[in-house]
Amino acid sequence: MAIITHQNSEIKTSMEFISSKYDDYVDRISILEQENADYKKQIISLESKLEQIEKNSRTSMLEIRNIPKQQHENKEILRKIVMDIGKKKIYTLRTEKYEKLLDLNPQKKLRIVPL
């Protein structure tokens, strides 16, 4: 009988230990889930900010497509192309606002002109 009582006592101690560890893991998982939710909110916020920054940068860009690239194309030639397009579309473009005229991807023959 003493052996059974001793074994029951050991089983009870083991169960209390396991229960304590289980509670610790449940608490830790809860904390990690909350941190994960916070990180997801932060990621959404950062993605939104990045999207807004990209949108703002695109509002001051002019993308030129389907115009043959000239052999020695430079800023002045690109500026003239933009001005000619503006004249044909009856837009008034002020060239002093052009900070840079870029050929961002020469393989695709795409020119992007910040306005």
- Whether residues 2 and 55 share a domain: the answer is yes
For residue range 34-71, list pLDDT tens digits in order: 999 999 999 999 999 998 888 877 676 667 777 777 77
Which residues are bridge partners to 63 per DSSP? 112
pLDDT tier at 74 (50, 70, 90 boundaries)? confident
Write down the pLDDT at residue 76: 82
My answer on whether 73 and 87 are in the same domain is: yes
pLDDT band for position 96 (cuts 50, 70, 90): low
Section 87-105 average pLDDT:
55
User: Domain limits at 55?
Assistant: 1-59
List Cβ neighbours of 38 (8 Å cut-off, separation of 6 or more). Answer: none
SS3 category, 14: helix
Q: Quick one: pLDDT at residue 38?
A: 98
Does the pLDDT at position 90 exceed 70? Answer: no
Q: Which one-letter amino acid corresponds to residue 29? A: I
Contact 61, 115 (CB under 8 A): yes
Task: Note whether 45 and 78 are same-domain residues.
Answer: no
Q: Is there a single domain that holds both residue 55 and residue 74?
A: no
Residues 80, 34, single domain; the answer is no
